[in-house]
A and B are shown apart, each in its own frame.
Chain A
Amino acid sequence: MAEKKYNYTPKDFKSDQEVRWCPGCGDHAILNAIQKAMAELDIAKEDYAIISGIGCSSRFPYYMETYGFHGIHGRAGAIASGTKTANPKLSVWQITGDGDALAIGGNHFIHEIRRNIDLNIILFNNEIYGLTKGQYSPTTKYGHKTKTSPFGTVETPFKIGQLAIGAMGTFFARTIDGYVKESVEVYKEAEAHRGTSLVEVLENCVIYNDDTHADITAKATRKQRQIWLKNGEPMIFGENDDKGLVLNGFKLKVVTIGENGITKDDILVHDSHEEDPILHLALSNMKYPEMPVAFGVIRETKKMTYDAAVEAQIAEVQATAKIKNMNDLLTSGETWTVNN
């Protein structure tokens, strides 16, 4: 392996600001995991720009010893798009939540993904508005009781992966706040991907929506209920790695290896690079209890990024351009001289 240029430790990424999230909030673990990932990535500290909107998650930039911008509600995606387009050399991370990205910022969210701007969106999904103290969000489960849905919501929640794939997404991954080791790998892969990398982090809001993901994230049952996908490896999970996914018509189905003549060779092998989004969509939509929930990098496909395309177009035009500066432009085309 090539020698690393920078020898950072996670501490190098901690700012001197006191972390103000509630004790026990999932955000603390996400912060640790991202600081760890950045220490392992070989990017100069000054080249990170961390940009957020509004919400509990969006306090994130203040806690990072990098360039940071705490924006306004919903607009992190647009601000980050501008920063990255202006300077593609920066590693731009958008920190956002389910309300910030999917409600008020929904328009920017789908368009930054569609454009494939080379930035990492880390979406803290706690299925609730935390900062405003407990109203339902676009990912809150149907029927869930919150302060603004005292009788249960009557809204269907978004499936984040489906939304991203529908918006022509090139990268979608899912992880869990407290799973630091796994998360570090996911964040590093998100950074390595050229294009908009969307990471949905199942995050626990201890105050307003405690244990909303517990069915999936609880350590005791994690092996049956989670499937961690790895490119090129069979889609196997279960307590004894005895369960797997196969296709039954157009649908995914859970099978047990060793039963009904199923062998390991019958199990689907994960191909995150497949352009056709059908299987990625099915994987990201799997939900408990019918199916295990998919984690890790579900989709990672190659496409020209917006920021690179902008630079390339400018370079191409400039290579043969007659107009090199403002004086050239001002005197180009129809002009006339007055000489009285």
Chain B
Amino acid sequence: MDKKSRIEKEDVVIRFAGDSGDGMQLTGTLFSDTSALFGNDVATFPDYPAEIRAPKGTVGGVSGFQVHISHNKVHTPGDYADVLIAMNPAALKANEIWVKPGGTIIADIDTFIEKNLKKAGYKTLDPFTEDHLESFNVIKAPISSLTQETLKPTGLDNKTILRSKNMFALGIVFNIYSRPLDYAHNFFATKFAKKPQIVEANDMVIKAGFNYAENTHALPSYRVEPAKIENGLYRNINGNKATAWGLIAAAEKANLPLFCGSYPITPATEILQYLSDRKDLGVKTFQAEDEIAGICTAIGASFAGHLAVTTTSGPGLALKTEAAGLAVITELPLVIVNVQRGGPSTGLPTKTEQADLMQALYARNGESPMPVIAASTPGNCFDYAFEAARIAIEHMTPVILLTDGFLANGTSPMLIKNMDTLPVITPKIAKEGKEYLPYKRSDDGLMTREWGVPGTPGLEHRIGGLEKMAVTGNVSYVPSNHQLMTDERQAKVEQVVAKVPDLQIEGNPDGGDLLVVGWGSTYGHLLDTVTEMRDEDVNVSLAHFNYINPLPKNVADVFSKFKKIVVCEINSGQFVNYLKINHQNFEYNQYNKVQGLPFTVAELKEEFTNILEDK
């Protein structure tokens, strides 16, 4: 089947774009899963409208899915696409700026009719000339009509037939990158086990697309060899699933049942869904009546001795703040996951942003310290969810885990760890038979109180939102006691640092001209940028934070090795301000962007070059 001669490629980015009803997310997922199984390293990023059915054919209704596959390690879904699939004029309009110079644009030309062109905002009937796309390799592929032709013999109705035109597009891309077709076949065979006709139709269309590409000489033909990555067992995972699984793993390691009280909110909802799917592992999920009930049921479950979790996004975290303070003062373990999105208010629900950092750190009444950590890749959402639970349980405190839309929906291969290799988590559960003082602190230096679980004879006690007397836990309004308890709560959170790993320098450990600083989901873009610049002999390194409160111990040490520091965030400068408070004796440059989009390597490179050249 491999007739064309194939060009070896290290690295390609493909963007599938169509109407939100065109099935672009599925198409992209099938391509990325196929590539992952083929052995490439992959990263994906979906970009879809907030509306479930935005007006058909408009730019606002375009749904996109970008896949980056490589022979090397990949850290981002890629800035610009080598190949764009545009299923209609609106998809072209919305995405033409995201294609690399000279890249290939495959357009379903059957949809490029006057009505659709108008809806997409084109003024003429020739969008390719109108928008000066001559420098691209434009393939006008009759995808809709060829799909219809292919499926005519099946006798399926026209609507059903047209619904599989995305598979024709997938077939084309499979051919360009010489991918095997069996993964997609198996996917449909499982999904439509009872409808063999649909399975066969999808197979036919994918093959038709594949053959069309084979015979269309203007289409390029590439080979991307499997990646050289760490040996082991892998699976493809998105950040939300990795978060859910990390929490279940922590519960298993702590030997505690897991409870999740949550209210659906984009882009965090999937975590609740994944957890509710795990009855087999005994997970209890409570879909609450609102965000407040989400966290309050979790606090009630934590009181009852469960590993309790509530998952949300920014607006939901705002609603949970009073109850978060209750978890602080009752010193109960609780994981609060905030999958950040564009704000303020409803903001950009389906777009990514890192602008809830200050909210996570400070948005509670009173002196209310709480550990805050952040995941930095879709796959390591597993590790940081596990870590958030470990800190919550071992330090008897609520913990906020920050991820965001980019991590939540993006996927990357995850090296599967055997559970035996993960650390055991030891809950501080009070034992029967000893005197129980609810606010007596541990003498292991961690200053935790013991967890007295209802149902245990002899440990009956009362906790709650009123200030408590040290040791006894009785209600207390004594001024000096409030000072003491406030100080102890702060000191307890500071003790978390004991197991916080040192901040790593990626690049030159001895220091250099510029240190790039980031936190959370920007990791991939920052690392790619720094790596590229280092390949060009620029003396630049990266220090990326996962632990925000408390910060790692060696921050000052790392910062002092560099002539310049630039802090990069998808917000207006929240982490840089936090660093200014905590490490005042450094000068910070900053690079910020709030467009609901991740950074691009190109813009970062330009920025870093300017800083180095003192522009």
Interface code A292-322, partner B: CB below 8 Å = 1, 0 otherwise?
Answer: 0000000000000000001001100110011
Give the shortest distance, in Å, between A167 (CB) and chain B (any CB).
11
Tell me which residues from 238 to 285 in chain B have a Cβ below 8 Å from any Cβ of chain A: 245, 248-249, 252, 257, 259, 261, 278-282, 284
In the assembly, what is the distance between CA of A82 and CA of B326, in Å? 15
Complex partner residue of B282 from A314, A335, A339, CB under 8 angstroms: A314
Name the contact of A323 in the complex, choosing from B281, B300, B465 (C-beta under 8 A): B281
Q: Do A68 and B293 touch (CB < 8 A)? A: no
Cβ-defined contact, B300 with A80, below 8 A? yes
Stretch from A86-94, A146-154, A186-194, A228-236 that touches the partner: A86-94
Given A17-B474, A69-B303, A338-B230, residue A329 in contact with residue B464 (CB < 8 A): no
Q: How far is the CA of A89 from the CA of B454 in the complex (A)?
A: 10
Q: In the complex, which residues 440-473 of chain B have their Cβ closer than 8 Å to any Cβ of chain A?
A: 452, 454-466
Tell me the complex Cα distance, A80–B303, Å.
Answer: 10
Q: Is the CB of B419 within 8 A of A338?
A: no
Q: Give bound CA distance, A327 to B465, whole Å.
A: 39
CA distance A83 to B330 in the complex (A): 15
Q: Residue A111 at the B interface, CB < 8 A?
A: yes
A47 contacts which of B236, B279, B299, B455 (Cβ < 8 Å)? B455
Complex CA gap A339/B415 in Å reads 12
Q: Which of B30-67 contact A (CB under 8 A)?
A: 33, 36-37, 39
B306 part of interface (Cβ distance < 8 Å)? yes
Q: What chain B residues lie within 8 Å of A321 (beta carbons)?
A: 279-280
- Report yes or no: B301 in contact with A46, Cβ–Cβ below 8 A: no
Whole-angstrom distance between the alpha carbons of A68 and B473 in the complex? 12
The residue of chain A having its C-beta at the shortest distance from the C-beta of B229 within the complex is A338
From the candidates A72, A318, A337, name the one contacting B323 in the complex (CB within 8 A): A72
A79 neighbours in B (Cβ, 8 Å): 296-297, 299-300, 303
Is the CB–CB distance between B419 and A83 below 8 Å? Answer: no
Measured CB to CB, the closest approach of chain B to A21, in angstroms, equals: 14
CB distance from B315 to the nearest CB of A (A): 17
| Cross-interface CB contact of A62 among B227, B286, B330, B475, cutoff 8 Å | B475
Q: How far is the CA of A326 from the CA of B280 in the complex (A)?
A: 10
B284 touches A310 (CB 8 A): yes
Are A68 and B232 closer than 8 Å at their CB atoms? Answer: no
The binding surface of chain A is classed by DSSP as mixed
Chain A contacts with B in 94-110, Cβ cutoff 8 A: 107-108
Give Cα A85 to B301, complex, Å. 7
B residues 355-398 near A (Cβ < 8 Å) are none
Does B231 belong to the interface (CB within 8 Å)? yes
> Could you tell me the distance between the alpha carbons of A86 and B261 in the complex, rounded to whole angstroms?
11
Q: A333, B230: Cβ atoms under 8 Å?
A: no
A324 and B465 CA atoms in complex are apart in Å by 38
Cβ-defined contact, B280 with A324, below 8 A: yes
Q: Mark A97-137, 1 if CB is under 8 A from B, else 0.
A: 00000000001100100000000000000000000000000
B234 adjacent to chain A (CB < 8 Å): yes
Asked whether any CB of chain A lies closer than 8 Å to the CB of B288, the reply is: yes
Cα–Cα, bound, A82→B279 (Å): 17
Does B308 sit at the interface, judged by CB under 8 A? yes
**Max count, chain B CB within 10 A of own CB: residue among A54, A68, A77, A330:** A330
Closest B residue, CB atoms, query A17: B474
Known pairs A72-B326, A310-B284; A82 contacts B308 (CB<8 A)? yes
Q: Which of B279, B288, B296, B300 contacts A318 (CB 8 A)?
A: B279
B300-330 near A? 1/0 per residue, CB < 8 Å = 1111111010000000000000110010001
Q: How large is the interface on A (under 10, 10 to 19, 20 to 34, 35 or more residues)?
A: 35 or more
Chain B residue nearest in CB terms to A16: B474
CB distance from A76 to the nearest CB of B (A): 9
Asked if B460 and A46 make an inter-chain contact with CB atoms under 8 angstroms apart, the answer reads yes
Q: How far is the CB of B478 from chain A (nearest CB, A)?
A: 15
Quick one: closest A residue to B289, CB to CB? Answer: A111
Q: How far is the CA of A105 from the CA of B609 in the complex (A)?
A: 56
The yes or no answer to B418 lying at the interface (CB within 8 A) is yes
Instruction: Give A77 to B281 CA distance when docked, in angstroms.
Output: 27
Question: Which of B302, B460, B465 contacts A71 (CB under 8 A)?
Answer: B465
Interface check A250, CB cutoff 8 A: no
Question: A102 to chain B: closest CB distance in Å?
Answer: 15
Question: Closest CB of chain B to A18's CB: distance in Å?
Answer: 10
**Which A residues touch B308, using CB under 8 A?**
82, 86
- Tell me if A336 and B301 are in contact (CB < 8 A): no
In Å, the complex CA distance between A333 and B466 comes to: 49
A85 in contact with B286 (CB, 8 Å):
yes
Q: What is the minimal beta-carbon distance from A169 to any residue of chain B, in angstroms?
A: 16
- Does chain B have a CB within 8 A of A225? no
Q: Please, which residues of chain A bring their CB within 8 A of the CB of B305?
A: 86-87
Check A70–B461 contact: CB distance below 8 A: no
Q: A75-B296, A86-B305 are in contact. Are A331 and B233 (CB under 8 A)?
A: yes
The listed residue (A87, A89, A325) touching B281 by CB distance below 8 A is A325
Indicate if A39 sits at the interface (CB-CB under 8 A): no
Q: Is the CB of B457 within 8 A of A46?
A: yes
The contact of B456 among A46, A62, A72, A317, by CB within 8 Å, is A46
Contact at A89–B455, with CB atoms within 8 Å? yes
Q: Is the CB of B300 within 8 A of A86?
A: yes
Any B CB within 8 A of the CB of A246: no
What is the distance, in angstroms, from A226's C-beta to the closest C-beta of chain B? Answer: 35
Closest to B329 in A: A72
Complexed CA–CA distance, A331 and B417 (Å): 9
B298 within 8 A of A: yes
Indicate whether B6 reaches chain A with its CB closer than 8 angstroms: no
A337 to B301, CA, bound (A): 39
Are A333 and B304 interface neighbours, CB within 8 A?
A: no
Q: Tell me if A44 is interfacial: C-beta within 8 Å of chain B.
A: yes
A335 vs B280: C-alpha distance when bound (angstroms): 20
| Sample of 10 more A-B contacts, CB < 8 Å, known A322-B280, A329-B281 | A46-B454, A71-B299, A72-B296, A79-B299, A82-B302, A89-B455, A314-B284, A325-B252, A329-B245, A336-B234
| Chain A interface residues (CB < 8 Å from chain B) | 15, 17, 44-49, 51-52, 54, 61-62, 64-72, 75, 77-87, 89-90, 107-108, 111, 310, 313-314, 317-318, 321-327, 329-331, 333-340
| Subset of 14 A-B contacts with CB under 8 Å | A67-B461, A69-B462, A70-B465, A70-B466, A85-B259, A85-B297, A89-B455, A107-B289, A107-B290, A107-B293, A108-B296, A334-B37, A334-B236, A336-B37
By a beta-carbon cutoff of 8 Å, the part of chain B in contact with chain A is: 33, 36-37, 39, 226-236, 245, 248-249, 252, 257, 259, 261, 278-282, 284, 286, 288-290, 292-293, 296-306, 308, 322-323, 326, 330, 416-419, 452, 454-466, 474-475
